[in-house]
A = this chain, B = another copy of it.
Amino acid sequence: MARFRIAVHITPRKGLLDPQGNAVKDALHTLGFKAVRNVHVGRYIVLETEAYDAIAAEETVTDMCRKLLANPVTEDFEIESAVPA
């Protein structure tokens, strides 16, 4: 078993309302950043996990995203390549 680090981006699905992103956009406008057109707020999760190899680690993290990390109805996730931790 070796230890791997894997980063995951979880973003609101395109076309769905993103109330947090709109709130940030409004706050930026209020602060004077009038040139901002769109803001999307997602999560960035970095996991360290033990696995036999990088492919097994990535499969496990995909499973974690489906079961816990991402909301399958409203969010998309993207997993970066596993790197030795």
Contact = CB atoms under 8 A, between A and B. Distances in A.
A49 B11 CA distance: 19
Interface in A54-70: 60, 63-64, 67-69
Smallest CB-CB A-B distances: 8 pairs: A44-B44, A38-B48, A35-B50, A42-B44, A40-B46, A37-B48, A36-B49, A35-B49
Interface residues on A, range: 20 to 34
A25 B20 CA distance: 24
Interface in A1-59: 1, 3, 9-11, 24, 27-28, 31, 33, 35-51
Contact of A31 (B27, B33, B37, B68): B68
Contacts of A50: 35, 37
